[in-house]
C-alpha cells in the first residue's frame, strides 16, 4: 500500500511540474554527449560535454507573444581563447573556458490584422533547399560547436526587426532590418608568428543590413524571391603587415578577418507531384571585387541547388540534390606572388588561398551533389539518417551517418559520425582532422 501511495504521489508531483512548465511556456532538454574529435584544426581527441537548452513560448497578451531560447554548452572545444569569441558580446554569447552560454533567441512578436512584427534576437533562416541554402545570408552559424543535430543547431540569432505583411492568406511581403552584424564562426589554424584580429562593422545606423522577401506558402507551390544587402557571414583573410626579425630571421604578420558588403538576390521553390517532391534555390551574390582586381577579396558568384525527393513505402525518404557554383572573374591566389616585396607576396598568397577555400572560389565552375536518406523502424522509434555531400572538382566530401533511438518517454539516444576527406586545400579537406564519432543521451522536458 505504501508503494502505491508513494507512486501516486510521485506521479502527481511530476504532473504538477509538467503543468507548471506548460503554464510558463517552458520546455527544454538536458544532454550528455561525447565526441571523439573536435571542430578545431588540431589533433586533440576525446571531448565529453553537457548541454542544457531552455525554450519559452509565452502568450503575454491576445496578440503578443514572447519567444526565447537559451543554451549552456559545456565542453565546446575551440572557444577557450577569448580573442576568438567572434563578436560574442554583440551576439549575447559568453564564451569562457570551453563553456558557451548564449541567448540564442529572444524576441517579442506582435500579430495584428495583416501584420506580424518581431523585434529582438531571432534566427532568420531563408531557403527551401535541403541543408545547403544559397539565399541563407542573414543568420550566422558557429561551426566549432559539437552538436549531433548539425547545421540547424549551429545557428544563433541576430538582433533584428522583422515585419511580415500578408497580402493574402498565402502571400506575404517581408522586410528585415539587422542593425548589428554577427559573423559565422569557423575553424582556423593560426601560426605562432601570426597575430589574428577580426574586424567587424561598427555598431551604427549606416552599418546595418536590410532585406526584403516576397513569399508564397500553401497550395501546390511554395516559392519566394528575396534580396539582402549585408555583410559576408564568412571571413575573408587580409594581410595588414609583414615584418622579418633582423636577428632571428623569423617572419611576423598582422592578419585581419574582414566581412565586406555584398548584395544578394535569390529565389526558391518547393512543390510535390505524387510521391515526388521537387525543390530548388538560386542566389546571385554581387561583391565589391566585381572585376577581380583585388587578389584577396571574393568576386561575384552564382550559387544554385536543384533537388528531387521521393518517399518509399511508409518510412523511407530520399533527397538527392545537384549543387553548383559559377564564380565571375575568379581570382588566382598565385597572383599575389607577383608582389615586388617577396615576403609580403608570399603572405598575401597564403591568405588569399585560405579566403578562396573558405568561400569556395578556387574553381570557376563547381559541381557537387548531396543526398539525405532517412529510414525509420519500430513505430518510428528508431531513425537512421545518412547525409552526404561530394564536391566533384576537388574530390572532397562530407559524410554524416546518424542513428537515433527513443529509449522511453522523453529519452533519446543518438550515435553517429562525421567524415571529412579531400585534398588539403579544399573545402572539406582543410578540416579532415575533424573526422570522428559521437554519442549523445538526451532528456527532453
Question: pLDDT tens for residues 147-157?
Answer: 999 999 999 99
Q: How many CA atoms lie within 13 A of 280 on its CB side?
A: 8
pLDDT of residue 94: 82
CA distance 340 to 345: 7
CA distance 282 to 227: 12
pLDDT of residue 253: 94
Contact 402, 414 (CB under 8 A): yes
pLDDT of residue 5: 37
Specify the DSSP element, H or E, that contains 352: helix 342-358
pLDDT of residue 216: 99
- Phi/psi region, residue 158 (left: phi>0; alpha: psi -120 to 50; beta: rest), is beta
CA distance 395 to 338: 29
pLDDT of residue 98: 79
CA distance 340 to 342: 6
Please report, for the chain, how many H helices and E strands are present, in that order.
3, 22
Contacts of 314 (CB under 8 A, 6+ apart): none
Q: Which of 55, 62, 66 is nearest to 27 (CA)?
A: 55
Give 126's strand partners: none
Three-state DSSP at 290 gives coil
pLDDT along the chain (445 residues), means of 10: 43 62 92 96 92 97 96 81 52 81 97 97 98 98 95 96 98 98 94 94 95 97 99 98 89 96 99 96 98 97 99 94 99 96 95 97 98 97 98 98 98 98 96 97 98
Three-state DSSP at 184 gives coil
User: What are φ and ψ of residue 258, in 5° steps?
Assistant: -120, 160
Give 107's strand partners: 67, 120
CA distance 398 to 369: 11
User: What are φ and ψ of residue 138, in 5° steps?
Assistant: -105, -50
| pLDDT tens-place string over residues 125-148 | 999 999 999 999 999 999 999 999
Contact 194, 81 (CB under 8 A): no
List Cα–Cα distances, 53 to 74, 119, 152, in angstroms: 11, 22, 14
Amino acid at each position: 500500500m505504501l508503494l502505491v501511495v508513494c507512486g501516486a504521489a510521485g506521479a502527481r508531483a511530476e504532473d504538477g511540474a509538467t503543468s507548471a512548465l506548460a503554464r510558463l511556456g517552458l520546455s527544454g532538454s538536458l544532454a550528455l554527449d561525447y565526441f571523439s574529435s573536435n571542430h578545431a584544426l588540431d589533433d586533440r581527441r576525446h571531448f565529453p560535454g553537457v548541454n542544457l537548452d531552455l525554450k519559452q513560448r509565452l502568450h503575454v497578451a491576445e496578440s503578443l507573444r514572447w519567444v526565447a531560447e537559451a543554451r549552456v554548452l559545456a565542453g565546446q572545444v575551440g572557444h577557450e581563447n577569448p580573442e576568438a569569441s567572434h563578436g560574442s558580446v554583440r551576439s549575447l554569447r559568453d564564451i569562457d573556458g570551453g563553456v558557451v552560454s548564449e541567448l540564442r533567441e529572444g524576441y517579442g512578436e506582435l500579430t495584428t490584422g495583416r501584420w506580424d512584427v518581431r523585434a529582438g534576437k531571432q534566427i532568420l533562416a531563408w531557403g527551401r533547399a535541403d541543408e545547403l541554402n544559397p539565399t541563407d545570408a542573414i543568420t550566422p552559424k558557429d561551426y566549432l560547436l559539437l552538436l549531433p543535430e548539425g547545421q540547424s543547431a549551429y545557428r544563433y540569432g541576430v538582433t533584428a526587426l522583422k515585419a511580415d505583411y500578408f497580402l493574402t492568406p498565402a502571400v506575404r511581403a517581408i522586410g528585415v532590418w539587422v542593425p548589428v552584424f554577427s559573423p559565422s564562426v569557423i575553424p582556423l589554424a593560426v601560426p605562432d608568428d601570426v597575430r589574428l584580429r577580426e574586424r567587424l562593422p561598427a555598431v551604427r545606423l549606416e552599418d546595418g543590413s536590410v532585406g526584403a522577401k516576397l513569399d508564397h506558402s500553401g497550395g501546390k507551390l511554395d516559392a519566394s524571391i528575396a534580396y539582402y544587402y549585408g555583410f559576408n557571414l564568412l571571413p575573408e583573410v587580409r594581410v595588414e603587415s609583414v615584418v622579418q626579425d633582423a636577428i632571428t630571421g623569423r617572419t611576423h604578420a598582422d592578419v585581419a578577418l574582414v566581412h565586406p558588403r555584398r548584395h544578394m538576390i535569390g529565389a526558391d521553390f518547393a512543390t510535390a507531384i505524387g510521391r515526388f517532391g521537387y525543390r530548388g534555390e538560386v542566389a546571385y551574390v554581387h561583391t565589391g571585387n566585381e572585376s577581380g582586381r583585388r587578389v584577396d577579396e571574393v568576386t561575384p558568384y552564382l550559387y544554385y541547388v536543384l533537388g528531387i525527393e521521393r518517399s518509399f513505402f511508409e518510412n523511407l525518404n530520399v533527397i538527392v540534390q545537384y549543387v553548383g557554383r559559377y564564380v565571375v572573374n575568379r581570382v588566382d591566389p598565385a597572383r599575389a606572388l607577383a608582389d615586388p616585396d617577396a615576403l609580403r607576396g608570399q603572405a598575401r598568397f597564403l591568405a588569399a588561398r585560405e579566403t578562396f577555400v573558405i568561400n569556395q572560389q578556387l574553381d570557376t565552375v563547381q559541381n557537387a551533389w548531396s543526398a539525405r536518406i532517412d529510414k525509420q523502424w519500430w513505430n518510428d522509434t528508431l531513425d537512421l539518417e545518412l547525409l552526404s555531400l561530394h564536391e566533384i572538382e576537388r574530390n572532397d566530401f562530407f559524410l554524416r551517418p546518424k542513428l537515433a533511438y527513443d529509449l522511453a518517454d522523453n529519452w533519446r539516444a543518438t550515435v553517429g559520425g562525421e567524415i571529412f576527406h579531400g585534398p588539403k586545400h579544399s573545402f572539406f579537406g582543410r578540416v579532415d582532422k575533424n573526422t570522428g564519432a559521437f554519442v549523445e543521451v538526451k532528456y527532453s522536458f
